Amino acid sequence: MSVHSKLEKFEDNWRTSMGGWFPGDKVVLRGKDVFTEVNHSSWMEYLLFATTGKESPKIARLMEGMWVICTSFPDPRIWNNRVSALAGTARSTGALASAASVAVTEATLYGLKPIKGATDFLYRADQRLREGESLEQIIKSELKQHRSVYGYGRPIVEGDERVKPMMDFARSVGCDAGRYTKLAFEVGDYLSASRLKYQINIAAVCAGLLADQDLRPIDFYNLMILGFSAGAMPCFIDALQQQEGCFFPLRTSRLNYTGGEEVKHWRV
């Protein structure tokens, strides 16, 4: 009996309109010749086009500002950067350090989950407002269901020093606060006055700014994945240039053992 797998028609057959390399000839991205049609794009414009299909120097510039102001703090104590610093002190390679730091950036407390989550929340909240719910109802139901609202509250410190410089930059490139940005701050006002005292953090600000530019949660997520790399790389280089193994070394007494005192013997 012959049974055909669903996979058979895909064997040696990948069809795409996204783009490709024609060896020795040309490169095509979303229907455009890379060497002749997008060769003068900035790298961020290229990334925006590759990721979303949008051609917008303004959005690319806004995104670039986010990368500089919001996501690339060169501090090796920050967890994603710390991975690169550890790679440097352990004498690993820069690419491995960067790859690991980028992967670690897909975190819950910071980075990519709040970035995607905050954009998603603003779109959902806006929709529910249009359907007649109050902002208070929306926020309370979000907290009830998820116990948090992405884009609000922050570990280590309460306020977010990036909010003002980012808004200043956004205005400077012609991205004034639109509907979603205003909504982001209104949510922040509500939560900071609540018993939770959550203040708006940069994820909600950027989510609002990009939603106002018609970017979806997945767009913001895709565009920000590499945005943390410029913070990680200096941490790697710094650790690499110092004595090997000297990045915050830990003596054995820095381990606080909280397990039982009983010494056991393995049953053979």
Positions touching another protein (CB under 8 A) are: 3, 5-7, 11-17, 19-20, 28, 31, 92-93, 95-96, 99-100, 103, 106, 112-113, 116-117, 120-121, 124, 142, 145-146, 150, 217-218, 221, 249-260, 262-268
At closest approach, how far in Å is the CB of 12 from another protein? 3
How many Cα atoms are found within 13 Å in the side-chain-facing hemisphere of 194? 18
Query: What values do phi and psi take at 27, rounded to 5?
Result: -125, 135
The one-letter code for the residue type at 182 is: K
Indicate the residue among 167 and 201 with the shorter CB distance to another protein.
201
Nearer to another protein, 146 or 164 (CB): 146
List beta partners, residue 106.
Answer: 111
Find the shortest distance in angstroms from Cβ 209 to another protein: 18
- DSSP 3-state assignment of 80? helix
The distance of closest approach from Cβ of residue 58 to another protein in the complex, given in angstroms and rounded to an integer, is 25
Q: Is residue 166 within 8 Å of residue 69, measured between CB atoms?
A: yes
State which residue, 157 or 268, has the beta carbon closest to another protein. Answer: 268
Q: Is the dihedral of CA 189, 192, 198, 202 positive or negative?
A: positive
Backbone phi and psi for residue 22, each to the nearest 5 degrees, phi listed first: -105, 100
Provide the minimum distance between the beta carbon of 93 and another protein in the complex, in angstroms, as a whole number. 6
CB of 44 to another protein, least distance (A): 22
Indicate the residue among 64 and 142 with the shorter CB distance to another protein: 142
- The residue whose two tokens read 């490169």 is 27
Alpha-carbon distance of 189 to 182, in angstroms, equals 11
Closer to another protein at the Cβ: 17 or 241?
Answer: 17
